[in-house]
Amino acid sequence: MATQHSRSAARIMMAPAVILLLGWMLVPLLMTLWFSFKKYLPLRGGDLGWVGFDNYVRFISSSSFWPSVQATLIIVGGVLAITIIFGVLLAILLNQPMWGQGVVRILVIAPFFVMPTVSALVWKNMFMDPVNGLFAHLWKFFGAEPISWLSEASLQSIILIVSWQWLPFATLILLTAIQSLDSEQLEAAEMDGASPLSRFGHITLPHLSRAITVVLLIQTIFLLSIFAEIFVTTQGAFGTKTLTYLIYQRVLESQNVGLGSAGGVYAIILANIVAIFLMRIVGKNLDA
Amino acid sequence: MSLKNAFRAATALSVLATSAAYAETITIATVNNGDMIRMQGLTDDFTEKTGHEVEWVTLEENVLRQRVTTDISARGGQFDIMTIGMYEAPIWAKNNWLVPLDDLPAEYDVDDLLPAMRGGLSLDGTLYAAPFYGESSMIMYRTDLMEEAGLEMPDAPTWEFVADAARKMTDKDNEIYGICLRGKAGWGENMAFLTATANSFGARWFDENWTPQFDSEAWSNTLNFYIDLMNEAGPPGASNNGFNENLSLFQQGKCGMWIDATVAASFVTNPDDSTVADKVGFALAPDTGLGKRSNWLWAWALAIPAGTQKEDVAKEFINWATSKEYIELVASKEGWANVPPGARTSLYENANYKDIPFAQMTLDSILSADPNNPAVDPVPYVGVQFAAIPEFAGIATQVGQEFSAALAGQQSAEEALEKAQALTVDEMEAAGY
Amino acid sequence: MARAVTPQRKALNTAIAWGIGLLIFFPILWTILTSFKTEAQAISDPPVFLFFDWTLENYSVVQERSDYMRFLWNSVIIAGGSTILGIIIAIPAAWSMAFVPSKRTKDILLWMLSTKMLPAVGVLYPIYLIFIRMGILDTRLGLVVVLMLINLPIIVWMLYTYFREIPGEILEAARMDGASLKEEILYVLTPMAMPGIASTLLLNIILAWNEAFWTLNLTAAKAAPLTAFIASYSSPEGLFYAKLSAASTMAIAPILILGWFSQKQLVSGLTFGAVK
């Protein structure tokens, strides 16, 4: 059906989307590149001339740079691990026969509808507050000293908040995948005396690999740029300064657009490294 | 329709008719503090008087700052009036980003503005932002707990006394913490408090050659004193507490003392919100006998970004919102305790206001802060709890994060100071000092 | 599942699943409950769960201070508009990827997804300047365009996976009958792909609704959606848990309700069509 005619038609029909996205990518990218080679300080008169690679050197040699890359990777990695592990477990659970499955599913999806700002505010104030938060009450109830979550366990707290938001997503994809699993295969394995664990490892998990890949890809894209959760909770203190947040600090708090833009370029490079890495896996897995 | 309503409708119509020719809508960006929300609620009075409408953009402080700074530096023209502070006003004015407020009408009585506020919002003698309310910081303490501890708060205590009292008032089993201080990182949060405190300990941000001073003994004393005190007598999780968090703690009766903005006085004495409203005393922020107290000076002010099409209407609004009449309007509707404080001399001469328990202490605190000579040693900058240079906010927020981490016990005070020194040197070099 | 399950086993499953479901839902439930308390009750120690004096006061305070309907309306237009516009642009692209695939199809798809990784904060200043130049700051149009561009890759990808499931022969048959390309897409493909399109629509409305960086930074008074509404209730002076809860409930309620009513489409939408 791929005639010459339909090929050119296809190109034309693809054009609007491709051109728009190309523009959306290139225009800011080029402007960011342009700014990144400038000393650009809005509060000191704006454009103060070209400075070569100064901003790049300064951004990467700042003591906050490597910790921020590390924080980014820990948060992304932590959330991915939690959502995938608990997502698989939840999906298996939800696939069991039970009463009121539909309602439970609604309860489990709900966090996905909550704005990141709102969920960060609610978690920070009503749960993690060391005096008035519910966790503090719970801890006191059991006679323990309340934890001040956002300073003593800052990264874990942020991972918890973000995981809560993304767990529904992972669970649902994995649940859909599990539902398509051939139950006869499982039963046959059970007859053969395979333990539940080996059934899971040899049949369920391989079946889920494609779904896990999708979760990995989509979540990474969203997680690399999380901002609201940090802005609302710790403002980058206590080792939660991610690369995105560091750029925010440079551009908006220090009002150094040049330096921040150089950071933006690094962030794009990091994102692309992750993307290439992901696409290697996804490419194999996605189109099978 | 009752006669009264009909009459009202008729006046409304006539107002519309007379002002329709030039009725405009201005957009104002403001912070979600109590006094501003009150102002928002009273907008109708402005509309009634002038025929102009107001669109409010009310945002939380950090979001507001990010929003207005982006807009003004990129010349976005989104707002006709911006709510800014004493830190931004001179810097923005220097960039010619603000409309000078040098032609306010005679009845505005610009000379009535408290000199400290007027000075801090001016550049080279020209006013660029009109103070909506002003504040310093002071001690708010629980008179009952102080009595239980067998102590009496002097009007002008030393840090030694405060620390001692805090330890005696603390009763962690009953969730009473002797002292609540800011710990949340941010140049306007913990650094406002710590910079002002450092002043009283003889420390300063920069010497006359703009060399950062975090390696000085005075800073080390300040930070160690603060961390020790908070560990022994502060609430749990203090490293996440800013103004609001401490305000709730105090209102719930969990703090013995709280050193913070003078505007908090009206919240902690308001029986609707505060469980300790009738047991609050006030005192000047403490010192160490070196000649500087640890109180700051701040004003939230209204400024007009240069280039707005509606400059005249914006000026009319500022004239309304920061006038003596506005203060009376609030007083008539919400009582004198709730008028915006700290902006005008006449307010403190008003007999009605003198009865307010915290009025005099607020004024004394404001008068004792000197932005031109903030520290014991000479400094090259202006500002008590900040240095009015563009780089300060960025630097101080990062320094604040180091100090906050030290308070949380994640590093020692010395480590925090070392990092603060290194990053400040680095940023100042980048800025070309 | 074909296997017979003992009632005990089923009861156990039910108990565990409900327990976990309620645990996950609890923060939302707690927010909703708190929104009906007074500020003092909201922080009472020990916390009160159900037995308090239910009050609507917080909602009236919030409504009095900010015109909720205006923010809501902006959210609806921006989230809905950007998604619909995105789908209109994405359908032809997804069609050509699904039915006239070339060697580069997969590369183009993955490239599109990678544009989502641009850190928004890094390009705020450039975008702001462009918006000023084009005069679309604080307009719904501006936000519709930006959010459409942000979600376009996801929309294209989702539609592509749905379209691929439609057998090409049907389209070919339509073409044999003399249908033009436009007719083929409009009358044959789109109706068949309707469930997929609905899922795509729903999911992207949610994503656009919850987007909080651009919607906050590119608006002032006129086009501000619910994300800006929330920004005026986070950490004001004084006790604020109850008011914050009321504002939060108001901000998430519309999308929560939409989500629950359209659960079925959404569930398949959440899988991005990539899992069958």
Predicted confidence (pLDDT) per residue in B163-192, tens digit: 999 999 999 989 899 999 999 999 999 999
Segment 202-261 of chain A within 8 Å of chain C by CB: 210-211, 214, 217-218, 221-222, 224-225, 227-228, 232, 243-245, 247-248, 251-252, 257, 260-261
pLDDT surpassing 80 at residue B394: yes
Q: Does A183 touch chain C (CB under 8 A)?
A: yes
What's B90's domain CATH number?
3.40.190.10
Among all residues of chain B, which has the CA nearest to that of A145?
B236
* Token duo for residue C54: 């239910």
Q: Give pLDDT, residue C18.
A: 95
Q: Which of B29, B37, B67 sits opposite C217 (nearest CB)?
A: B67
Note whether residue B104 is domain-resident. Answer: yes
Written as one letter, the residue type at C256 is L
pLDDT surpassing 70 at residue A261: yes
C28 contacts: CB under 8 Å, gap ≥ 6: A110, A111, A114, C252, C256
Q: Give pLDDT, residue C100.
A: 84
Note whether residue B120 is domain-resident. Answer: yes
Percent of chain C with pLDDT over 90: 42
Note whether residue A265 is domain-resident. Answer: no
Q: Are strands B126-127 and B255-261 parallel, antiparallel or unpaired?
A: unpaired
- Same structural domain for residues B283 and B302? no
Q: Which of C21, C108, C171 sits opposite A104 (nearest CB)?
A: C21
Cα dihedral sign, A250-A252-A254-A255 = positive
Cα(A198)–Cα(A221) distance, integer angstroms: 32
Cα(C184)–Cα(B2) distance, integer angstroms: 65
Mean pLDDT in residue range B42-65? 92
Let me know: does B141 contact B283? Beta carbons within 8 Å. Answer: yes
pLDDT surpassing 60 at residue C79: yes
pLDDT in tens, C254-263: 998 988 888 7
pLDDT in tens, A185-237: 778 888 888 888 888 888 888 888 888 888 888 898 889 888 889 998 888 88
Among all residues of chain A, which has the CA nearest to that of B250?
A131
- Cα of B182 to nearest chain C Cα, Å: 14
Among all residues of chain B, which has the CA nearest to that of C64?
B41
Q: Give pLDDT, residue B190.
A: 94
Q: Give residue B275's domain range.
A: 136-296+377-430
Q: Where are the domains of chain C?
A: 7-60, 63-270
Assign 3-class secondary structure to B387-399: CCCCCHHHHHHHH
**Chains in touch with A (≥3 Cβ pairs < 8 A):** B, C
Q: Give pLDDT, residue A15.
A: 87
Mean pLDDT in residue range A25-45? 89
- Same structural domain for residues B320 and B206? no
Segment 230-259 of chain A within 8 Å of chain B by CB: 231, 234-239, 241, 249-250, 252-256, 259
pLDDT in tens, B124-163: 999 999 999 999 999 999 999 999 999 999 999 999 999 9
Mean pLDDT in residue range C33-44? 88
State chain B's mean pLDDT as an integer.
Answer: 91
* Token duo for residue C93: 């692209």
What's A167's domain CATH number?
1.10.3720.10
- Same structural domain for residues B188 and B312? no
Poorest-confidence range of B73-77, B340-344, C19-23? B73-77
Looking at the 3D structure of chain B, how many domains does it have?
A: 2
pLDDT surpassing 60 at residue C119: yes
Report chain A residues whose CB lies below 8 A from the CB of C168. 1
Note whether residue A208 is domain-resident. Answer: yes
- Same structural domain for residues B86 and B119? yes
Note whether residue A273 is domain-resident. Answer: no
For the complex shown, is ipTM > 0.90? no
* Token duo for residue B167: 């330890």
Mutate to test the interface with B, among A158, A253, A256, A257 (most CBs of B within 10 A): A253
Note whether residue B337 is domain-resident. Answer: yes
Q: Give residue A171's domain range.
A: 65-240
pLDDT surpassing 50 at residue A288: no
- Same structural domain for residues B122 and B142? no
Which residues of A133-205 form beta strands (DSSP E)? none
Percent of chain C with pLDDT over 70: 93
- Same structural domain for residues B222 and B140? yes
User: Which of the pair, A4 or B319, is modelled with greater confidence?
Assistant: B319
Percent of chain B with pLDDT over 90: 82
Confidence of residue B312 (pLDDT cuts 50, 70, 90): very high
Question: Can you identify the CATH homologous superfamily of domain C63-270?
Answer: MetI-like (1.10.3720.10)
Q: Give pLDDT, residue A46.
A: 81
Note whether residue B361 is domain-resident. Answer: no
Neighbours of C38 (CB within 10 A): 16
Note whether residue B362 is domain-resident. Answer: no
pLDDT surpassing 90 at residue A182: no
Q: How far is CA B151 from CA A100, B60, B79, B144, B280, in A?
A: 63, 39, 51, 10, 15
- Same structural domain for residues B349 and B396? no
Q: Do B73 and A43 touch (CB under 8 A)?
A: yes
State chain C's mean pLDDT as an integer.
Answer: 86
Cα(B275)–Cα(B260) distance, integer angstroms: 18
- Same structural domain for residues B201 and B234? yes
- Same structural domain for residues B58 and B104? yes
Looking at the 3D structure of chain A, how many domains does it have?
A: 1
Element (H or E) spanning C202, and its range?
Answer: helix C194-210
Among all residues of chain A, which has the CA nearest to that of C210?
A115
Q: Does A143 touch chain B (CB under 8 A)?
A: no
**Chains in touch with C (≥3 Cβ pairs < 8 A):** A, B
Q: Give pLDDT, residue C275.
A: 57
Q: Does C217 touch chain A (CB under 8 A)?
A: no
- Same structural domain for residues B278 and B209? yes
Q: Which of B69, B236, B390 sits opposite A131 (nearest CB)?
A: B236
pLDDT in tens, B363-387: 999 999 999 999 999 999 999 999 9
- Same structural domain for residues B141 and B227? yes
User: Which of the pair, B93 or B15, is modelled with greater confidence?
Assistant: B93
- Same structural domain for residues B207 and B237? yes
